[in-house]
Structure formats: C-alpha cells, structure tokens
Structure 1
Amino acid sequence: MNKEEILAKLSEIFREELDNEDITLTEETTANDVEEWDSLSHIQLIVAVEKAFKVRFTSSEIQSWNTVGEMASSIASKL
C-alpha cells in the first residue's frame, strides 16, 4: 500500500469518525485544519486507524505526529 492509498483510506476513516463528508486529507493536514478534530476525537481516530490498518502505535509515536503525512508514514512503516 503506497502513501496515496493510505491517505485515501485515512480520509475515509476521518470522514466516518468525524461525521463530515467534506474532509479531504493531504500530507500537510493538521488537527487545526479540521474543525471536528479535537483531543477526544483524536483518540477515536487513532483507535479507528489502528483497527482499519491492523497496526498498533506507541504513545510516543502518536505524540510525534504533527501532520497527517507523518501519521501515514508511521502506518506505511508498519505494513
């Protein structure tokens, strides 16, 4: 699975979890760019991403992400 495919799948997950069909993620997207993405929804997103990709993240990995691109890179490294 390449980074574009991961981003597409992440976009689907974010749309479903945040209940916003208008979300389109890029590698540069941050939580500040998505109105519904707050600290509580962040946890829900991480759980949904781990389940969808069948991966697990450490808390230090999660805290190191500043953009969706960094999240996608972590996913890619585990697939």
Structure 2
Amino acid sequence: MSTSVVNFAALVAEVLDVDPAEITENADQDALPGWTSMRHIQLVVTLEEAYRVYFDYAEIRDARTIAGLRKVLRTKGIEV
C-alpha cells in the first residue's frame, strides 16, 4: 500500500470550501453544507487526479462520508 504525500484533509477542505479541521471521519453532506452534489463530483475528480486513480460509478455513489472516500482510496492502494 502506498502512502500519499498529498494532504487528504487539505485537499478535501479546499474543494468543499471548509476549514480542514472540519474534515473528520464521520463528516458527510449533512455536516458539511459545502458538500453539494456538484462539489461531490468535483471532489471525486480532484481525488482521482491527485492520487492517479479512477472511481467507478458505485464508488462515486456510495462514498458519501469522509470515511467512505478514504475506504475507496484504500481499496486502490492509497493510504490517506
């Protein structure tokens, strides 16, 4: 498993326009008002580019929490 030098929390916070301190494992669209459907797609694309991975449709649909996003990345060999 590779460890990424990209700061996951900072990257997510930038896309969602929130403070990195708000990026907790249980944070979801309800907890982060900036996490809209459009921003979800932007977030996925940003993560794909930053970590050089590809999310399939089910992963995009199901990764609705910070923990869920981390889980998808872990299945692709990225430890964040």
TM-score normalised by length of structure 2: 0.76
The answer to whether the 8 A contact 1:10-1:25 is kept is: no
Higher strand share: 2
Tell me which residue corresponds to 1:57.
55
CA distance in 2, matches of 1:64, 1:36: 18
Amino acid of the structure 2 residue aligned with 1:31: Q
Once superposed, which parts of structure 1, at least 4 consecutive aligned residues long, lie more than 6 Å away? Answer: none
Higher helix share: 1
Residue range with higher mean Cα deviation, 15-24 or 53-62:
15-24
How many equivalent pairs are there? Answer: 75
> How far off is 1:22 after superposition?
5.1
Tell me which residue corresponds to 2:11.
13
Tell me which residue corresponds to 1:70.
68
> How far off is 1:10 after superposition?
2.5
SS at match of 1:20: coil
Same amino acid, percent of matched pairs: 27
Residue range with higher mean Cα deviation, 48-57 or 62-71:
62-71
CA distance in 1, matches of 2:21, 2:36: 14
Unmatched runs of 5 consecutive residues or more in structure 1: none
Residues 30, 9 of structure 1: CA spacing in aligned structure 2 closer, same or farther, 3 A cutoff? same
Unmatched runs of 5 consecutive residues or more in structure 2: none
Could you tell me which of 25, 28, 40 is aligned with 2:26?
Answer: 28
Residue range with higher mean Cα deviation, 19-28 or 42-51:
19-28
CA distance in 2, matches of 1:37, 1:52: 19
The answer to whether the 8 A contact 2:29-2:36 is kept is: yes
> How far off is 1:16 after superposition?
1.8
